[in-house]
Amino acid sequence: MITKNPKVIKKAISFRKVVQYWIIVILFFSTIVTLKVDAAIPDSLKVVFPFSVTNVELHYYVPGNGNDSSLMNNLTGTNEYTIVIPDNASTFVFNISYDIPLFNIIRYWITATRGGIIYAKVYINNTLLNNTFTIDNDHNGLNISVSINSNGSIIPFYNDTHQHIQIDDRIPAEVHHRIGYKKTNPGPDYKYVLGWMALITNNDIIDTSEIEVDYLKVYGRNNGNLTLLRSDDYNSFDTVNDGGLY
């Protein structure tokens, strides 16, 4: 019969308890660290432009903290700027200004018209914002207003101060004249005509579309003879009348 040393048995049992204890402690602290890392991921705002811009600046209002602004200097892609949402805000109102050096345009806005978010694509936590997030800014324009949930998802933020304006998303924001009409019989004294070309792409798809326009010409017909009334070769860009391509 073989006998075992009781001291050795006790030491083995004690060592086993210590190993189990440290394994539990290590696993416990690993869980805590993982939770802290996940919780520390900041909310981010990203704006992507279809052309080269400079001086991209975020202007924002956080309830309880007032107004402020911050330059978006972090270039994270082609014409793509990203910033951590300031003040760890869960609800905030904002707009973004920028310059377009190619056309000598200073301080243009991503909601420059009442038609909605224009030219730029805006993301919060990689979620593309649409015109359901726009509100009246009391200056004949729009701002963007959001609430960020604890899981990082976003919803529009409205109240009596920040009121949403219903926008017809079927009409691109770049359209200067959002209401049109046609006269089939204008009469002899009617002196106005509009030449119109519409190029439409799906703004919800992150992709690149490129269309080159050489010129646009409007002719009048009189007794079978065509007369050139107006032409544009698009060698320059007029933000008020051209409206852009969309």
DSSP structural state of residue 36: H
Look up residue 84 and give its amino acid.
V
Instruction: Name the pTM for this structure.
Output: 0.60
Q: Tell me how far apart the alpha carbons of residues 113 and 211 are, in angstroms, rounded to a whole number.
A: 23
Nearest to 88 by CA among 127, 126, 122, 40: 40
At 150-169, the pLDDT tens digits run 888 999 998 887 788 888 77
53 contacts: CB under 8 Å, gap ≥ 6: 79, 98, 99, 100, 101
Q: Which of 31-45, 73-87, 210-224 has the lowest mean pLDDT?
A: 31-45
Give residues with Cβ within 8 angstroms of 100, minimum separation 6. 51, 52, 53, 108
Percent of the chain with pLDDT over 70: 70
pLDDT band at 244 (very low <50, low <70, confident <90, very high): low
Contact 82, 46 (CB under 8 A): yes
pLDDT of residue 40: 45
* pLDDT band, very low/low/confident/very high, at 122 (cuts 50, 70, 90): very high
pLDDT of 246 strictly over 70: no
- The pLDDT assigned to 206 comes to 62
**Enclosing H/E stretch for 213:** none
